[in-house]
Structure 1
């Protein structure tokens, strides 16, 4: 009889990363650590099929940019037996409760962690709800609300976030970053997430986490995850990136909407892509009408000048080596994807084209 046991599991929406090396039988949280556990000094061969999936948006479940390293899909467990490592579906828990009570409990867990706590405050509904609940918990004197100011048209929520923080009498720190800061931080962000990105929005998380770490913040409460959980989006193309970015700065990321008890409750109700359950709670907490009834706005970063990082000749050679069509690099998404792909392959020592 074959004896097997679970050595790790990944949550239903992929917030926690888990990678493994099937041939060597080792596993770790990220690709780099998995390679080191396997005794590999370089990343080996790029996975051309997986890379094509990243570039097209048709991501291959369980694959990474490297052939030697696999990712445990969201909602699956990593199982070890005499035959090696394998992944099995893990059951998800659906247990209805009271959303406000569950969110309060998650926030109290952060407040009682013994760590210095901050809140990432955007101009949107999700983080506004958390700020309002912190006020209800009489905890605003324990938490500083960090607001990212970019000065970029349609990509700066400073005014809306500051207005909300002022209304609630929250402590605020505004951190200012411009396009040059985003471009300079792109390599570090890419090394943390270990996968190609199609937009620079995750860099905003890197800059915010970096600012918090510089101030001695140890735990960051954020509104991340509400959209993914309520839409039942298991693509894991954003949540684990956020987690990895904060981890790289030594800051614990604490998004209450990804708390296991909150997720269990939200899975027990119908999918709610318009986030009506959060809007209803926002109305009870007297949030501004624009948040309770207004449309959701996308938060992709605008196009930025990547010429300092974008080696067009080398990228053409990289595409050819992977058996992929040569990119035109005319669209911003394509420029960001190929720039971050080349950065991560270089970082992992897996680029077939010398730098």
Structure 2
């Protein structure tokens, strides 16, 4: 059988036609693609002879001879030795206070724990001296998170009320708290002081909020009375010292517009209470010792107040935290008074 190419040659000679056989023939359903010239690939323009040795070495090598060690050696030659970062030292643990002053006072514990005349609560006035107050210490040693939260709240209130409206709001809150404390002082001290208060103050929502708490309070020892820690040199003004369900406590009355059902919601109030507990135990003006605390959060709408009782164990847990804040304040005040060297 004659090959196809020989037959085509004979036909071409006899019919004066020339047929050029292509090495391959492509078919397409589109006439447009048939009429277009095939684009050249960029790789076809590369000088194959120039890079033939490189291509031959890559194709012929099946397994790379490089190892991790050789790669590190090449990096050392190209970029120099690797500078290793120092390993960060692990935290040794929580910060421990340097103060060794105890929360309780053994001398008072062994002495008398009752007043000569328990029917008359103590009310020692707050005298001006160089000792910092508990409130000031806590304000000056707030964490960055606490400061940011307070600033955001302030800016949000200013946007809602304006500068003048916010000033009026804070003034109103202060007056409400003042009247609330006056009403409680009158209720817990004597009926004569209670008569001097107007009906609006007595029947306020805050007073109604704490009615169920007042039923559990007895044996009032001090009301709105100043206290100072003779060793640690700080002072404060306590709201009340009385027995709550049979336990002698430093009681702190608070007002709030938002519910605070957990002690964590009261922010630095536990530190304030435990600071008063420690101070009263080291103040010669008070002949008794206190081991517990109580935070009472009253609400303007008259809803039942939340109570947060701090037993002796919980107070002992907060005492080192208060000492740390006191140390921080002392160090901060020392740095501010120290003159800068020239």
Interval containing the TM-score (normalised by the shorter chain): under 0.3
| Structure 1 or 2: more helix by fraction | 2
Using the size of structure 2 for normalisation, the TM-score is 0.24
Whose Rg is larger?
2
Using the size of structure 1 for normalisation, the TM-score is 0.24
